[in-house]
Structure formats: structure tokens, C-alpha cells
Amino acid sequence: MLVLLLTGSGLLMVASAGEVWGQFNYGNPYYFVQRQAFFAAAGLIVMACISYVDYRIWKKIARPLLIIAFLFLLAVLIPGIGMVRNGSQSWIGFGTLSFQPSELMKIALIFYFSALLAGRKKVIHLFWKGLFKPLFVLGMAFALIMMQPDLGTAAVMGGTAFLLLFIAGAPIRFFVMTGVSALAGLVLLILSAPYRIKRITAYLDPWSDPLGSGFQIIQSLYAVGPGGLFGYGYGESRQKYYYLPEPQTDFIFAIWAEETGFIGAVFIMILFFLLIWRGIHIAMRMEDSFGALLVCGITAMISLQSFINLGVVTGLLPVTGVTLPFLSYGGSSLTMTLASAGIVLSVSRSNGY
């Protein structure tokens, strides 16, 4: 029910947030919501089917699926195959449809980590026997996604992987050492790309460059702030009229807050909170380590992605390209998220709960 409520809310907001840009770019105000409805229907069917599949099958195909995900990540970097959007070569096109391989990698990595870590309880505290292999695989996936570049997706994937390592019992000293190394690496990544430095500057003071690097966050705040308690009303957003760039994707929550106000914004956050709580509850009831880690990984992925997106929209985090699960426009993202929800349902069903 939580997934259905979030997906339904997403369709409502894509219909409102995308009508202006749909009319401008495609001559059809319903362009985005029609495509989103197709992927939502397909994703819900997939979710329902997967919920009846024994979740243990994902353990058997975890390695082949990971290899396929790596091949797609390599293919997207090949000129003529990978599609460039907003400065990132992150999509593979099939006619009028496109697919983002990093979405497949996120779920494939969760399968692989869950299968690998479930059998390494006794050696998880040892670096070479317990940690080196999963970290090596994570490092390769992270590097390929950063070559696109897509820091937001890489951050969600890396955060999910480290949460799984923590839940599996990796020692605290490992996280301290990794945290220091990751911070140093993040600084190097920021310094290596001028646009990332501009994003950090815009995060600290967006009004220092209101027509450049600070434009998106300022327009987002202009949507969130005036919404007040109850908002302007459905379909009455002002910022979607070419102020907020492509409001149906990463900044859809800003339009939601503008039209439904504080009450609507809290409603969505409560749905996400309940969804995350249910995931944790299901994982805690599982006796099978693989099933518990699988649910934890999917729950962590959704929670991290939601936290980053909401943080960006409200100015709490620097701008990065991360969609809001279930709500933002995007076929591959919505389909994979709904499929992931089906896996959680299958784990829950296997436990009679």
C-alpha cells in the first residue's frame, strides 16, 4: 500500500510538474505522465510477479547479473552507444526508449554483496579474506559510474554497500579508515572538476551566483518556501513555468511542496519513513542472512536516495543528480525501484509475514 501511494503520488506530480515542459518540447502536456504511467504499470506488474518468486533465486544469479551490469556500464561509455544528457553519458537508447545501466548496477551490487557477505560472517573482520573482494568489486563499479560522470548514483551505491558491510559485522576501525580515505577522495573528485567546485560554492551561498551555479537551488527554494501550510493547490505551481529546470525529475518534490504545502510535504516524508521502517522490520524477522541483507540493502538504497534528493531540494545538501524514488520521472529508475519493492515483498512472503 505504501508503494502504491508513493507511485500514485508520483503520477499526480509528474502530470502537474511536467505539463509545461511537455507542451514546450513535445507539443503534448501529457507527454511525461503518459510515459510514466506506462512504466508504472509495467513496474507494478513486475513487482507483483517478483513478489511470488522465491527470493533465494537471486543468490544463484547474483554473479551473472553483476557481470551483465558491468558490461552495460562499459557499453554506455562507448561513443555511439551511450547517450549524453545534461553532461552525463549515462543512458543507452533503444528507439524512443532509454535505459540507465547504473540503475541495474545498484540492484545487482545489492544481490552480490548480500550473497557474498551472508557466507562470510566468520571472516568479515579480516581484510584480505573478508573485505577485499567486495571492496574491489565496489571500487570498479564506482569508477565506471564516475566516468560517466554520475556522482549522485555512485554515492547512493557506495553508501548502500557500506551499510551492508556494517550490518554484516565489518569492524568499526575499517569504517574509520575508509571514512578518512573517502573524504580525501571526495575532495580530489571535487577539485578535479570545476562544475563540482561551483556546486559546493552554490551550496554555501547560492545567491553569490544566482543566474549560474546557484540558479537551481534558488528556484527550488522559491517553490518550497511560498507553499505555506496547504500550498497553492494542485496544478497551480508557478516555478514549473520555466523557472525550475525540468521540474518533473530531480526537483519534483519542490513542485509538490509548492502545490500541497507543508502538509503535503510531510505526508510524502511519512510515507518514506513508514516504508523504511517496514523494510527494517521485515529484515529483523528474517532468520536467513541472505534474505535479511537483501532487504536491508534495498531499504538502504531507497532511504539514501530519498535523503539525498530531499536534502538537495531543500538546500541541505549540494546539488547532485539523484531522483526521488517512486515520484521522479524516469522509466528505468521507477521500474527498477518497483522491482526492488517486489523482492522485499517476496522475502516478507517467504517468512509468512
In angstroms, the CA 7 to CA 13 distance is: 10
First vs last C-alpha separation in the chain: 15
- Please count the other Cβ atoms lying within 10 Å of the Cβ belonging to residue 218: 18
When the pLDDT of each residue in the chain is averaged and rounded to a whole number, the result is 88
* Number of domains making up the chain: 1
124-128, 207-211, 264-268, 317-321: least confident range = 124-128
- Please count the other Cβ atoms lying within 10 Å of the Cβ belonging to residue 277: 12
Paired strand residues for 85: 88
Contact between 324 and 305 under an 8 Å Cβ cutoff? The reply is yes
- Tens-digit pLDDT profile for residues 78-133: 887 878 776 677 888 766 667 888 889 999 999 999 998 887 776 676 766 768 88
What nine digits make up the cell of 138? 565496489
- Tens-digit pLDDT profile for residues 216-226: 889 999 999 98
In angstroms, the CA 24 to CA 94 distance is: 24
In angstroms, the CA 315 to CA 273 distance is: 20
| Predicted model pTM | 0.91
Residue % of the chain over a pLDDT of 70: 95
In angstroms, the CA 277 to CA 312 distance is: 23
Q: Can you say whether the dihedral through the CA atoms of 193, 194, 195, 198 is positive or negative?
A: positive
Which residues are CB-neighbours of 310 under 8 A, at least 6 positions away?
A: 253, 269, 316, 324
Containing H/E element for 69?
A: helix 62-75
Residue 236 has φ and ψ, to the nearest 5°, of -105, 15
Question: What domain range is 182 assigned to?
Answer: 2-350
Is residue 352 over pLDDT 70?
no
Concatenated DSSP letters of 134-166:
HHHHHHHHHHHHHTTT-HHHHHHHHHHHHHHHH
- Tens-digit pLDDT profile for residues 2-47: 999 999 999 999 999 999 999 998 899 999 999 999 999 999 999 9
